[in-house]
Amino acid sequence: MTNRDEKAAVLQGTVDLMVMQTLAVLGPSHGYAIAGRLDQVSRGALQLGMGTLYPGLMRLEQRGWVRAKWGVTDNNRRARFYSLTPAGRRALETEKADWDRLALIMRALLDQMP
């Protein structure tokens, strides 16, 4: 339990990035599909809880970075489909660049010899 909480806390700041990247790859998808994709790509390491995923989606929607539409799944179920807006695409590019830069810095920092 605590383990998962910690993981969630670490990932909280990057939820936006992950969700938007997933939407960029998958195209319009509902929440469960996004969560499933993340689970799959991370090989089970990333199990995004509903309490993180859905408020995150709502936040992105409020920022105008994603938009949502009610639609029907392959199994004929009503679901809310999320897709990136043009502003969302731009935001994704920025966030990705930021993340890359941070990752490089971290790498360089951690590679230092003692």
Residues of the shown chain interacting with other proteins in the complex, contacts defined by CB under 8 A: 30-32, 35-36, 49-51, 54-55, 58-59, 61-65, 77-80, 87, 90-91, 93-94
Count Cβ atoms below 10 Å from residue 37 Cβ, excluding itself.
20
Tracing tokens 């009610």 back to the chain, one arrives at 70
C-beta of residue 68 within 8 angstroms of C-beta of residue 61: yes
CB of 25 to other proteins, least distance (A): 19
CA atoms within 13 A on the CB side of 24: 16
Pick 7 or 80: Cβ nearer other proteins: 80
Pick 51 or 114: Cβ nearer other proteins: 51
